[in-house]
Amino acid sequence: MAQNPSLVHRIPQSKYIDAIRWLSPVSALDRFAAVAYYDTDTNSPSIEIICVDPNPEGSSPTLTPQSSWTPPSRISSLKTAHSTHQPLLAAATFSGSIHILASDLINGGTMESEATVSELGFHSGPVSAVDLREGGTECVSVGEDGRVNLVSFVGDSSKLSYRRIFDANGLVGYTAVKWASPSEFATGGYGFGLQWWDQRKPGGPVSQFKGNWCQGKTSGIVHSIDIHPSRKHTCLAGGSSGTVFAWDLRAQQQPIVLSGAGTDEAPISLLSESEVWEVQYDRYTRSSNTSNISSTRILPIMICSEDGILAVIEQGEEPLELLAEPCAINSFDIDQQNPSDVICSLEWESIAILTRS
């Protein structure tokens, strides 16, 4: 496996980190991130806005807390919208609620809860995943209870409105979700299954990908999904047993396996043997011109795993290992403005900031 020369800083924290996300910068000098913390000593969750100072003269970047917000329970999923006039966060909790938070980065990084949906029946149990649509007017939530909800946020109302897109009544559980367009999104769940939804065609998913390709590993769970804006027809997924695969809607039931389980036809290199917690398309790529890549070829992707791997996978190339930690890497985010910079949350209560050379 190839290794990439990168500058890595690990910054110890006093609390466990459940999720971490870059926020869109308001100036070239200031950089901010949102962190979902959990204090295991006091069982208290929080979301904090931190200012990240690269500190070029010092040995390590400094992280300065700007503001904090206390959710009703531990955060299960945290997403951001970048194309809004101020950064918006969608935070889902283990108690089954969703909160839309707005952060004013110009005035000291203050954070306010704009809207909440928490009524009985929204989700039965934890919200597994949430995704905030670019523009910040809607988010979609899914749960292992089999419910798929569309949450609308309009104006200054402190109350979110939602409608049930689907309810599998617990027969099917959903563990990941990602917007593909203003009307379409993808979900993932057990058995490495994926579903494609279109709000214009209600009643259930318009297309389904069944995970019976994975050599009997039907207990596999999809933990993360990403969809590239220029490749809406391809759904990228990461999950159990180090499995990373893509589903091309134009070739309905044949996965493109990038790492892990593989199919009967060909063994696939195993980058990780454990859970792949997050996958993201990597805009900082070795390919000189992604626009020239065939539409059937999968664009480069980054993954993080339970066994401490942060790596870039490019179809047909040797994986590029960025980090190999002695503990799990639970989440990461690539800076959209500076894709050479990656921020990660480590199991051993640390934040890692990686700058690729």
Residues pairing with 235 in the sheet: 247
> If pLDDT is split at 50, 70 and 90, which confidence band does 267 have?
very low
pLDDT at 23 over 60: yes
Residues pairing with 178 in the sheet: 186
CA dist list (Å): 36 to 60, 89, 110, 193, 305 = 22, 11, 15, 28, 18
- Residues 27-65: pLDDT tens digits? 777 789 999 999 999 999 999 999 998 766 667 888 999
The percentage of residues in the chain with a pLDDT greater than 90, rounded to a whole number, is 55
- For 34-102, the DSSP string reads EEEEEETTTTEEEEEEEEEE--TTSSS-EEEEEEEE--SS-EEEEEEESSSSS-EEEEEETTS-EEEEE
pLDDT at 78: 97
Lookup: tokens for 349 = 């209560």
pLDDT at 204 over 80: yes
Cα(220)–Cα(247) distance, integer angstroms? 16
166-189 average pLDDT score: 93
Which comes out higher in pLDDT, residue 216 or 31?
Answer: 31
Cα(106)–Cα(213) distance, integer angstroms? 50
Closest listed residue to residue 256, CA positions, set 269, 267, 247, 266? 247
What's the length of the chain? 357
Cα(160)–Cα(116) distance, integer angstroms? 6
Task: Give the range with max mean pLDDT: 152-166, 192-206, 213-227, 283-297.
Answer: 192-206
> Does residue 10 come out as left (phi exceeding 0), alpha (psi in the -120 to 50 range) or beta?
beta
pLDDT at 268: 57
Cα(286)–Cα(301) distance, integer angstroms? 11
CA dist list (Å): 318 to 271, 315, 322 = 10, 8, 13
Mean pLDDT, the chain, rounded, equals 86
- Residues 281-308: pLDDT tens digits? 998 865 545 555 666 788 999 999 999 9
CA dist list (Å): 17 to 41, 93, 132, 331 = 13, 14, 21, 9
- Residues 325-350: pLDDT tens digits? 999 999 999 998 889 999 999 999 99
Cα 279–Cα 283–Cα 288 angle in degrees, nearest 5: 130
At 67, the amino acid letter reads S
Neighbouring residues of 288: CB distance < 8 A, sequence distance ≥ 6: none
pLDDT at 222 over 70: yes
